[in-house]
Amino acid sequence: MKKPPLHRFLNKKSREATDTGFSNLASAQGSRLMESSGKFRVKRSGVRSLLSFSFAHELILMSWPRFLLVVLLFYVVVNTFFASLYYLGGMDQFMGGLAGTGLQAFSEAFFFSAQTLTTVGYGRINPSGFIANVLASAEALLGLMSFALVTGLLYGRFARPVVNMQYSENLLIAPYQDGMAMMLRLANARNNDLAEVEADVILSLLTEEGGRSIRKYFTLELERSRVTALPLTWTLVHAIRSESPLVEMNAANLIDLEAEILVTIKGFDTTFSQTVFSRHSYAADAFVWNARFLPCFHRSEDGIETILEMDKLSKYELLT
């Protein structure tokens, strides 16, 4: 799909951003760089597997159900493995066993293994022979080590920075002061105190240069790009003045140029002493013209607190 050249739309004063870290070669890229959730649509190939794969980090990042399943699977596999070893070593290496041979004996070996791996060690059935004792000593150590690992992983899961920044579903373009402005609204959905919050907004446009499909990036200057705290909402306002790349655009242009707005929010979570980042992306179809956000907080009934209604964050009204 042939793209219009950008000079048809852009004011000469608009300066291309050179510090985005994204590439300009659009034909080599997927259709959109970032999902609206802020995740980059990039896959790595050809990495030597040991470099790209970190077992611990995978276990820290995977979902809770998946993580618990991995733990359960590990438990069953290790117990089956050791039960087989005990069984092969001979159940006469044990005292207190109730079964002879066969499935019952294997099941007894399995449960003995579980008692050893978890270090619960009831001891009714216990190793008396040399082989069983060596195996059980090894399994108990393995149990402790695995458990240490799980403890570390669980803490790693808690210690990860968590920010639940919520963004308005739409970007509004509406009258502002003497002209127009692009606005988007965000709020911290958690009660933790964020300090020194900074916003960075980049506009990406797809155009054509010398027959090649090229993606250009522009930093959109904000009326306020930093707040000292974020207890309520924050409306990011980009006034569309003469230097703005949006100055002579309309809704159709932006869709033609496959406009994408990339938002990066950085803040400091004072509760856990961590710098947190949040990214969000708006495609051209999320732009709404001539609208303004409705209020989304009010005074509590007792007059003391402010109630922030997170479900009204995206609410706007069209201006006539």
Site for its own copies in 240-259 (CB under 8 A): none
Binding its own copies (rule: CB under 8 A), the pick from 7, 15, 27, 294 is: 27
Binding its own copies (rule: CB under 8 A), the pick from 8, 147, 242, 318 is: 147
Tokens representing 26 are 């659009």
Binding its own copies (rule: CB under 8 A), the pick from 45, 100, 178, 320 is: 45
Query: Does the footprint of its own copies cover residue 36 (CB under 8 A)?
Result: no
Q: How far apart are CA 318 and CA 200, in angstroms?
A: 26
Query: Does the footprint of its own copies cover residue 111 (CB under 8 A)?
Result: yes
Complex with its own copies: residue 251 or 286, whichever CB lies closer: 286
Tokens representing 168 are 């308005």
Binding piece for its own copies, criterion CB under 8 A, among 5-13, 159-167, 245-253, 282-290: 159-167
Q: How many other CB atoms are found less than 10 A from the CB of residue 199? A: 20
CA distances from 33 to 183, 205, 264, 265 (A): 21, 11, 14, 17
In whole angstroms, the minimum distance from the beta carbon of 282 to its own copies comes to 16
In whole angstroms, the minimum distance from the beta carbon of 8 to its own copies comes to 26
Closest CA to 179 of 224, 272, 246: 246
Using DSSP's 3-state secondary structure scheme, residue 276 falls into strand
Q: Which of residues 73-92 bind its own copies (CB under 8 A)?
A: 75, 79
Q: How far apart are CA 110 and CA 99, in angstroms?
A: 12
Report how far Cα 295 is from the mean position of its chain's Cα atoms. 28
Binding its own copies (rule: CB under 8 A), the pick from 51, 102, 252, 320 is: 51
Binding piece for its own copies, criterion CB under 8 A, among 85-93, 169-177, 203-211, 292-300: 292-300
197 forms bridges with which residues in the sheet?
A: 227
Binding piece for its own copies, criterion CB under 8 A, among 2-10, 45-53, 169-177, 248-256: 45-53
Among all chains, which residue has been given the structure tokens 């790209």?
A: 52
Tokens representing 299 are 């005074």
